[in-house]
Amino acid sequence: MDMWTLINGVIYLICFALIGWMLLDASKVSNK
Amino acid sequence: MSENSNTGVELVKTLRPYHVWALGVGIVLVGEYMGWNFTVAKGGILGSLFALLVAGTMYVMVSLCASELGSSTKLAGGPYDWARLFVGPGAAAIVGLAVYMEYIALEAADAIVVASIAQSIFPEIQTFPVTLLVIAALTFMNYRGVVAALNLNFALTFTALIAIIAFFFMNIGGIGGTWHPEYLISGAIPNGFIGVFAALQFGPWFYLGIEGAAMCAEECKHPTRAIPLGQQAGMITLLLGAGMTLYVCSGLIPTAELGVSVYPLFEAANQSGVKFLVAFLAIGTLFTCLASANGTVCDSSRSWFALSRDHFLTNWFAAVHTKYSTPYRAVIFTMPIAVAFAYSGFLDQVITFSITSGLVCYVMIPFSLIRFRKMFPEHTQKVRPFVGPLQPYLAYFTIFLAIVIMSTLNWGYSYNLIFGLLFYIIAYFYFSWRYRSIDAKHDWGEDMGWPEPAHRK
């Protein structure tokens, strides 16, 4: 695996982490 | 997730005039960095100047209307709320949807451009993950709180603006490249007067979205002062920025190249040969795209929130975050739509849809003001804290200019124009039907503590 494939993968991971955090938090707030 | 949860929580009121300025200018300044130069391709330098002046006149008047309406109503939906209060439910829903689509399409376009910049610097990087990252990161910022998001906007916008000002003054001072007056003569009017007229379709690029500054009224500490001040300061900034941009670019880049350039200001800096300017304008281009995308997330989510709060959409989107006081579901919902627009990758198509949506708003905002003046003729502090000059005559003239500019989309984008208008006509009938099924009627005049409307007396 070359470095740029890794970087592209890391960018996707960051995106999914941000989206995941928002969705988790939103569901927590909604259930309060 | 439970229906209607947290709908009793209010939006936090912390914003100041400079936040309003940052929101308005932040969304629009990207238009000085790119896109406006398509006016040059259509009508040459004269066409571009004509478009700058005509569109500028329209936007000054739209800003005056938006300042008066925004400072009076102090609601988060902006143009949507004005149309709902003073025109009617079908018109309001069209405007709310038009604002939403205008800003979402602009957000997608900004994210595409940031990804293209990243790929031009690092050719191995893929554009789609970067586009997704920009959209996700800015949605996250707006989810966490409007103050943090708009403070970020202020810093990004201010840096991008300083880059334009520094470029202009270094150029006229003789240390920012050689300015070529012969470029003006050779490329003044290449396609005749039809070209000059056709250039109007890209005129809105210089200012597209400035009316969004008034959309944070509900979150302002003192909206009666912050909205007119921030909005008008923003419009003055953009007029000066547009003039400076046209001046430096038209004298540094030959007209034929300027008309097709992707990043004209950055290319003009390249032509100047000054390394400091090249770096500064590259940073400015990147920052202005981020600021614009950030502002559009804020505005589009408020428009969606307002539509939902009035039951045009499911009330589920009207929830406010208990900790961050943001319309968090509406904010999150901007993301899939923006990603869908960005996934298409057709920048000019996305932007033309944004312009069409914007022009629908520029017809409806002054119309709302005309109705507002008719329904509430009193100039009291309670009803109308900011009184715009020469109204409602300016509002009539604004509608005329918006229709003229919309008609020029016929040259090159006739299908986009027809599709866009058809979309809003269908939306009108859908929302009118939906409104009839809503039981609750709003007595908004009473809600705001205003006197009886003139037509009821």
Delimit the domains of chain B by residue range.
Answer: 17-456
Interface test with A, best of B127, B132, B297, B301 (most A CBs within 10 A): B132
Distance from CA of A12 to the nearest CA of B (A): 6
Is the Cβ pair A8, B125 closer than 8 Å?
yes
Question: What's the sign of the alpha-carbon dihedral B446, B447, B449, B454?
Answer: negative
> Which residues from chain A sit within 8 angstroms of residue B335, using beta carbons?
19
Chain A / chain B CB contacts < 8 angstroms: 60
Tens-of-pLDDT digits for all 457 residues of chain B?
Answer: 334 444 455 666 777 888 888 878 888 888 888 888 888 888 888 999 999 999 999 999 998 888 888 878 777 667 887 888 888 777 888 888 888 888 888 888 888 888 888 887 888 888 889 999 999 998 998 888 777 777 887 888 889 999 999 989 988 888 877 888 888 888 778 788 888 888 888 888 888 878 777 777 777 777 777 888 888 888 899 999 999 999 988 888 888 888 888 788 888 888 888 888 888 888 888 888 888 888 888 888 888 888 888 778 888 888 888 888 888 899 999 899 999 888 876 667 777 777 888 888 889 899 999 988 888 777 666 667 777 787 888 999 999 999 999 888 887 788 888 888 888 888 888 887 877 766 555 556 666 666 665 555 5
Q: What is the mean pLDDT of the segment spanning A6-28? A: 92
**Which of B288, B371, B298, B319 shows the shortest CA–CA distance to B99?**
B298
Q: Would you say B186 and B54 are in contact if contact means Cβ atoms under 8 Å apart? A: no
CATH topology of domain B17-456: Amino acid/polyamine transporter I (1.20.1740)
**Which of B77, B98, B62 shows the shortest CA–CA distance to B356?**
B98
Query: Who among B1, B125, B136 is closest to A27 (CB)?
Result: B1
Nearest-Cα residue of chain B relative to residue A27: B1
Question: What's the sign of the alpha-carbon dihedral B291, B294, B296, B302?
Answer: negative
- State the ipTM, two decimals: 0.95
Q: Give me the number of domains chain A comprises.
A: 1
Q: What is the pLDDT of residue B448?
A: 62
Distance from CA of B133 to the nearest CA of A (A): 5
Q: In this structure, what are the phi and psi dihedrals at residue A24, rounded to the nearest 5 degrees?
A: -65, -45
Euclidean distance between CA atoms B147 and B150, whole angstroms: 5
* pTM for the model: 0.81
**Which of B83, B117, B85 shows the shortest CA–CA distance to B362?**
B83
Euclidean distance between CA atoms B270 and B253, whole angstroms: 10
Is the Cβ pair B132, A18 closer than 8 Å?
no
Q: What is the pLDDT of residue B450?
A: 65
Query: Who among A7, A14, A18 is closest to B125 (CB)?
Result: A7
Is the Cβ pair B323, A29 closer than 8 Å?
yes
Query: Who among B2, B129, B323 is closest to A30 (CB)?
Result: B2
> Which residues from chain B sit within 8 angstroms of residue A19, using beta carbons?
136, 335
- Please state at what angle helix B328-344 crosses helix B275-309, rounded to 10 degrees: 120
- CB count in 10 Å sphere of residue B368: 29
